[in-house]
Amino acid sequence: MDIKQYLDSTYLKTAAGAGLTEPENLEIVKSTVAEAIQQGFKLVMIRPEAVTTAKEMITDAGSAVLVGTVIDFPDGTGSLEDKLTEAQQAVHDGADELDFVLDYNAFKAGDAAKVKQQVLACTRFVLQHGKVAKWIIEVAALTDMEIIKLSALVKNVVISNFEEKDYCKVFVKSSTGFYKTDDGRPNGATLHTVKLMLENCFPLPVKAAGGVRTFKEAEEMIGLGVKRIGTSSAKAIAQGGTAQDGY
């Protein structure tokens, strides 16, 4: 098993969030991309404004590393039009995979129809452009039953509207890494939440984002059936170390 092909090396902090200037933050983005190229990770996940830079670096290096970015991040409360506008720009800039934050707040408030509409329209757009979509459900904000229902909702939209050959291109993803929890509870993937996702979104693939801190934990997730792992410490995990960052 080549664990690097499961790793989405991730840097999603804004300059303000990192306490840096814009040029300083861009340098971290560039170093993250350069490391992904050097290490041969599956993908580098960065914010939309850095997609063009990342794509140019990867193309210049002749690398096969994919570029992923986030849409309606981190809250997911934008309109369908907002999500599609961001998605159109990301595709234009060269993104290979688009990780949408699902409007879990609308779902929790009882508006499943809104969520289904967004999943359908955005997934259709992504597949029409030959890209991969991932739907972030934010497990730390949900009860077990809500995780079950949201995972099934995404699955049902996909299998009802798209061909079987496309199922592998629509992921259900655990977390943004930006959700604030109480009492030190995990805000990323756990074995428990990932099992719920896997059981209820099959045959769609699952991405475990955040919370995977060691090579052993990554192996456990892959053993469960996870197809991707999002982490800001991809190199440390791949080399058998321990993640130093919280994501």
* Residue 28 to residues 21, 59, 80, 186, 232, Cα–Cα distance (Å): 11, 19, 31, 25, 12
Q: Which two tokens stand for residue 96?
A: 């290979």
Answer yes or no: are the C-beta atoms of 201 and 226 closer than 8 Å. Answer: no
Q: What residues are labeled active site?
A: 99, 173, 207
Could you give the 3-state DSSP secondary structure of residue 177?
coil
Helices 112-128 and 80-93, axial angle in degrees (round to 10): 20
Give the DSSP letter of residue 188: S
Chain CA centroid to CA 178, Å: 12
Count CB neighbours of 125 within 10 A: 17
Angstrom distance (rounded) from CA 70 to CA 78 = 13
